[in-house]
Amino acid sequence: MTAPAGTTLPKPSPGAPAPRERPAARTISGGPRGARLRALDGLRLIAALMVACYHFGGRDGEIGEAWGSSPAVQFPTASQLFAYGCLGVQIFFVISGFVICMSGWGRPLRAFFASRVSRLFPAYWAAIILVTAVFALPWVTYEAVSPSDALTNLTMLQMPLGVDRVLGVCWTLWAELRFYALFALCVILPGANRQRIVLFCAVWTLAAAVGEAANEPLLDLVLMPEYAPFFIGGIGLYLLHLDRRDMTAWGIVSASWLIGQHYAVDRLWHPADPEFFSYRPSLGIVAVVTLGFVAVGAVALGHLRWANWPWLTVAGALTYPFYLVHEHLGWVTVHVLHRTLGLPAYATLPLTIAAMLVTAWLLYRWVETPLTPRIKRALAPPRRGA
């Protein structure tokens, strides 16, 4: 999942080629550069809710234990739709490519590093502590990781270190971290401009394809062939946001969509199996991936600038902490509401999601709001002349 960055338009760095002029009406918010992209915040929340529906009703596993039976029994019709919710992660990656290109343009490396650390870690640390503490309660049936593994999880490097995960969704953060590192080293460090960004997209696309063909674990680790087209597609969509007539950007987006749908089908499709209820026809997978690209593209081209409601900013702020805590704490909440209190499944599901949104708001209000600016000030470069 992408962590929400400040969705404001960057000023081009000194000496960087200015994007071609375009009508002011193409700015997402309909206002001047620097306005928040509230429609993008709304898309974030939709993607997070897709993933939550998948975790609670679109697959088996621990959530089956929480329900007391397969979610397919609890949601005989909706479970087939919930199964597509896992593709919310791919939509997150498209949004992340868009936002990181937007927020990283014109920033020095140290400022980019400060913004990412201050945005990612406060809610993440709180989620690690909260889930570990809840799973340690004697009446909770889910097993907590060892104290050593819990401490290692605080680094966000548990995936490459082979450590048990506290948060099931943290594998997406590991993908995000690798994307940030590639973008920082190849684009931000030498100085972001359109030519360098286009070259980055082209080289990464080709290198990821070569890495897939080579079947070399190290190349797969660094180049992420399965997820690269979604990040690259988001970058291309940001270039289209700057200039919708940019045919090179259209090419980047088109190639990314074509490759991305291939990987989504290849990784998620399987033959119909009555014992594995979350069957997703390949055409449905292609359709959801396409809708994700189209939705972010609508934001990029200004077609959703009418969606400028202030509450979308709050929705965007809640997305990251909600994404972090919803799965594991959701298991416990579903068990309490459905099996202990006896609420029906179709009441338990919205109540669980609402409870996770309230938890996300508490993390945003009491963890992110005070800590994010302090960490950012501590890590950001000093002002010139200071």
Average pLDDT over every residue of 357-368:
98
pLDDT tens readout for residues 145-185 = 999 999 999 999 999 999 999 999 999 999 999 999 999 99
Residue 51 resides in a domain = yes
Residue 331 resides in a domain = yes
Task: In whole angstroms, give the CA distance from residue 343 to residue 331.
Answer: 15
The range of the structural domain enclosing residue 94 comes to: 31-379
Check: CB of residue 240 under 8 Å from CB of residue 249: yes
pLDDT band at residue 345 under the 50/70/90 scheme: very high
Question: What is the residue-averaged pLDDT of the chain?
Answer: 88
Q: What is the pTM of this model?
A: 0.88
Check: CB of residue 19 under 8 Å from CB of residue 243: yes
Check: CB of residue 318 under 8 Å from CB of residue 357: yes
Task: In whole angstroms, give the CA distance from residue 361 to residue 364.
Answer: 5
Q: Which of 2-11, 207-216, 217-226, 298-307 has the lowest mean pLDDT?
A: 2-11
Task: In whole angstroms, give the CA distance from residue 268 to residue 275.
Answer: 16
Q: Is the pLDDT of residue 23 over 50?
A: no
Check: CB of residue 319 under 8 Å from CB of residue 41: yes
Length of the chain: 386
Residue 385 resides in a domain = no
One-letter amino acid for residue 64 of the chain: G
Residue 366 resides in a domain = yes
Residue 102 resides in a domain = yes
Residue 17 resides in a domain = no
Average pLDDT over every residue of 84-93:
96
- Which pLDDT score, from 0 to 100, does residue 137 have? 93
Q: Look up residue 383 and give its two tokens.
A: 């002002």
pLDDT tens readout for residues 192-219 = 899 999 999 999 999 999 999 999 999 9
Check: CB of residue 349 under 8 Å from CB of residue 57: yes
Task: In whole angstroms, give the CA distance from residue 249 to residue 272.
Answer: 38
pLDDT band at residue 5 under the 50/70/90 scheme: very low
Residue 92 resides in a domain = yes
Residue 8 resides in a domain = no
- Which pLDDT score, from 0 to 100, does residue 267 have? 86
In the chain, the number of structural domains is 1
Check: CB of residue 87 under 8 Å from CB of residue 268: yes
- Which pLDDT score, from 0 to 100, does residue 21 have? 41
Check: CB of residue 33 under 8 Å from CB of residue 9: yes
Check: CB of residue 331 under 8 Å from CB of residue 87: no
